[in-house]
Amino acid sequence: MFTFDQIKDEFIGKIGTEKRTQYEQELQLEVLGNMIRTVRLERNLTQEQLGKLIGVQRAQISKLENNTTNVTMETILKVFGTLKAKVNFNVELMNKL
């Protein structure tokens, strides 16, 4: 029996390695895209309608929701602001300088 963390360490790499960091970042972006889609649907908006509200094309919203593009903080804040959703970011310091 193995924990999920042990499996990730073995097959992706230990925390702090480049491969593991990339994996964690991609996972976070995927979660963010799912959150955007969920809230958009709860607000009964199409991708096109949301795009018009924040000044981007429907394709950009699709890319955000499907994690197929790099996203800026500005765009994230615009999307969630338009969706009337509060955004919180946590910063956790891992090591001392």
Taking the domains of the chain in order of start, what are their residue ranges?
Answer: 4-82
Assigned CATH for 4-82:
1.10.260.40
> Could you tell me the pTM of the whole model?
0.73
**How would you classify residue 61: left for phi > 0, otherwise alpha for psi between -120 and 50, otherwise beta?**
alpha
CA 62 to CA 56: how far, in whole Å? 11
- The SS3 of residue 96 is coil
Q: Residue 15 has which token pair? A: 């925390």
pLDDT tens per residue across span 41-88 = 999 999 999 999 999 999 999 988 998 777 778 888 889 899 998 877
Q: Give the mean pLDDT of 7-28.
A: 89
